[in-house]
Amino acid sequence: MPQHIPQAVHVPEPKPEEPDEKKITEQKPEEVPAAAVTHQMTLAEDVTYGAQFLQEDTKARRKIIGQLFDTYWLIEFEDKLFIIDQHAAHEKVLYEKTMATLKTKEFSSQQLSPPAILSLTMPEEEILKKYLNEFEKLGYAVEHFGGREYAVCAVPANIFGVDVKQLFMEMLGDLEKISGKLTPDIILHRVATMSCKAAIKGKQKITVEEMEQLFDDLMKLENPYNCPHGRPTIISMTKYEIEKKFKRIV
């Protein structure tokens, strides 16, 4: 069978490395400070991903192949395969939305029917009372239900539809670990970032329509390429790299 060799490949061996893409796709997050990752992503945006991939008018040319391992989404665009981590991507979207509302102080809530009932220990109840004001500022509504039980009656609109009880208990657990005296603004920021726990998890099935909405929300961000912790949300492989793996190209 004749081998197919892309017309653009005329570089003799040894091939030079492609450092920008390697840095983005292969370095472990803990080895790269978040600020450095953000800087790398911004500089490499046009080279690695192609400006056209981000444009609304190219949406029809992006082909969603499907979900991999119930965690990643594969998207074909021209001569590249893009792999999106659904948890990291959704976490980034939620984080940016929450930070935007912190700046504008315009929080919207979604009522829960029925409310989520929390049965708290004494330490958890103390934590809730201590930070209740911050929760309310972000759009949560919590009412005493009797004894050590509390009813979560509303949540921020951007996290509606999640397991509220699990989310709230996780946030109380994290707040319990905070030591030292913090300013109200720092506490509010901490609680806001904890809301990102509402992000879609890995190994969670979502529909193509939900993925399309998540992708659209992600691409509207100034820097959609890494989550708040510095991990990549998207990596890519070129057709050339894939064909070389299969030795269709030497």
Do residues 210 and 70 touch, judged by C-beta distance below 8 A?
A: no
Q: Are residues 170 and 219 in the same domain?
A: no
Of 166, 182, 198, the last residue of a domain is 198
Residues of the chain with pLDDT > 90, as a percent, come to 42
> Chain-centre distance of CA 93, in angstroms?
6
Give the number of domains in the chain: 2
Q: Parallel, antiparallel, or unpaired for β 80-85 and 72-77?
A: antiparallel
Q: Are residues 89 and 133 in the same domain?
A: no
Q: Are residues 121 and 194 in the same domain?
A: yes
Q: Are residues 112 and 167 in the same domain?
A: yes
Q: Are residues 111 and 152 in the same domain?
A: yes
pLDDT per position as a tens digit, 187-225: 777 777 777 888 899 999 999 999 999 999 998 898 888
**Domain ranges, residue 225:** 19-93+203-245
Is the pLDDT at 2 greater than 60? The verdict is no
Q: Are residues 36 and 87 in the same domain?
A: yes
Q: Are residues 169 and 221 in the same domain?
A: no
CATH number of the structural domain spanning residue 224: 3.30.1540.20
The predicted pLDDT at position 54 comes to: 62
Which SS3 state, helix, strand or coil, does residue 24 take? helix
> Chain-centre distance of CA 110, in angstroms?
21
How is 90-104 classified by DSSP, letter by letter? HHHHHHHHHHHHHHH
pLDDT per position as a tens digit, 90-134: 999 999 988 888 888 777 889 999 999 999 999 999 999 999 998
pLDDT per position as a tens digit, 55-86: 677 778 889 999 999 999 999 998 999 999 99
| Extended strands (E) in 184-249 | 234-238
pTM of the model: 0.68
